[in-house]
Structure 1
Amino acid sequence: MALEAEAVSLWHFAVSVLPGLLQTPEYARELLAAGGLRGDELQQQIDARMGRRDLLEGDDAPQFRTILSEAVLRTRLRDASAWREQLEHLAEVSERPGLTIHVLPFSAGPYGLDSTDVWFLRMPDGRTVAYTENAYRGELIEEYGAVERLQRAYDAVRDMAMPPAESSRFILRMLEEVSCDPLP
């Protein structure tokens, strides 16, 4: 998180869940609770995640680009109204300057990052570091060759993803599919 706050640009790829920077409180709650957090610890993690969202606001916000696998948008929350709120939030932030969302459709087929959530952080000194993560651990990668290989895979995925305008329309279509009926 310290490197994230220093970065001048952030690039991200999501395999199965939204990046914390784009999550609503209820999305974070359901995701973190599914991981076993409860009580005060759960609330602390939600608060920390929501605090990180401030990074993307203001004149000095870093450029942020994310590619969301279609699976991210097909894995709904159990609470339809919370899922609707999350999709509305995505639609809103996709209109912000300096924030770009791409959707990688299932029809793209296999791709080089199919099991890897990855962040690229370009630092003020010009170097880029990568951070990969799964449900159990994360790894900071600073070695130039390894970062370069991951960047090439990321670029190939971006080339297969929908352009931003088409991605925004896809998110709006997903929003239309969410039931408007209140939960019993």
Structure 2
Amino acid sequence: MSEFLITELRILRTSRGLSQEDFGKAIKYSGSHVSSVETGQRPPTEEYLEAVDRVFETGGLFSRLLVRINTLEVVHVWLRPWIEVERDAIVLKSYEPLVIPGLLQTEAYARSLLSTGTLPAGQLDPQVRARIDRQQVLGQDNPPLLFAVIDETVLRRAVGGAAVMREQLDHLLMASERPNVNIHIVPASTGAYVGLNGAFVIATLPDSRELAYLDHQLEGLVSERPNDILPVREAWEKVRGVALPVQQSIELIREVAKTWT
């Protein structure tokens, strides 16, 4: 993926008929710096790519590519295909009985969750950053329509402590103000229901294909087989059926947020 970014930078430069020296002058870097980036000896930094985007008016293309590459290089191999699906989806239907959905987590909440796992030394910060970077999909051009159904117990589980939870629930309230985000809460009074069997996400792509993502302790499963999609779609309809409408859900989140003091 890094080679792809370097190749695109080189294509941009040559398409403008610029030498490495001239390209460097335009973005206020030396020609030798440009050369070292294009040969892979020096990684392109955020500042470097921001300068390229600004000077050549690419609309932030190279900065977005860096985020995408960094995310894919850090996350588990089995998760990479789903991240691509998230970026291409027009609709995401997410259900979570245990934690706040990743696309709606704060950095502190994500850090608290990930620190309880078995990440190798030095991997916590990159993993947290990758999770937060994935959330850019909700603010991209033509973002997916996200329907998130969350069990009420998630709002009351002390992940990271009271301050972290208050920030997280306030973040949910702010996210719900986005026109493409709809949050529904399954009240604790519901008792047993099909969603307690596990978390899942259904993605609808522009060509109307549906893919499902199922999470568990070892790794996530991505499938578009009809025999897999059908029961997940049925489960979605059932959890939506027991969840509160959006406005009542927001009121419940606001009430629970007040308890985290």
Which protein is bigger by CA-based radius of gyration?
2
Root mean square deviation, CA, Å: 1.3
Q: Which residue pairs with 1:162 in the alignment?
A: 244
Q: Which residue pairs with 1:112 in the alignment?
A: 194
Letter in 2 for 1:78: G
Distance 2:140 2:247 in 1: 23
From 210, 224, 230, the equivalent of 1:128 is: 210
Change (3 A) 1:38 1:79: farther
For CA contacts below 8 A with separation 6 or more, give which structure has more relative contact order: 1
Kept in 1, the 8 Å contact 2:212–2:223? The answer is yes
More helix by share: 2
Q: CA deviation at 1:25?
A: 0.5
Q: Which residue pairs with 2:94 in the alignment?
A: 12
Kept in 1, the 8 Å contact 2:109–2:160? The answer is no
Flag structure 1 segments of 5+ consecutive residues without an equivalent.
Answer: 180-184
Flag structure 2 segments of 5+ consecutive residues without an equivalent.
Answer: 1-82
More strand by share: 1
- What is the identity percentage for the equivalent residue pairs of Structure 1 and Structure 2? 34
Regions of 4+ moved over 2 Å: 36-40
Letter in 2 for 1:128: E
Letter in 2 for 1:67: V
Q: Which residue pairs with 1:36 in the alignment?
A: 118
TM-score normalized with structure 2 length: 0.66
SS of residue matched to 1:114: helix
Matches within 5 A, 1:13-92: 13-37=95-119, 39-92=121-174
Aligned residues: 179
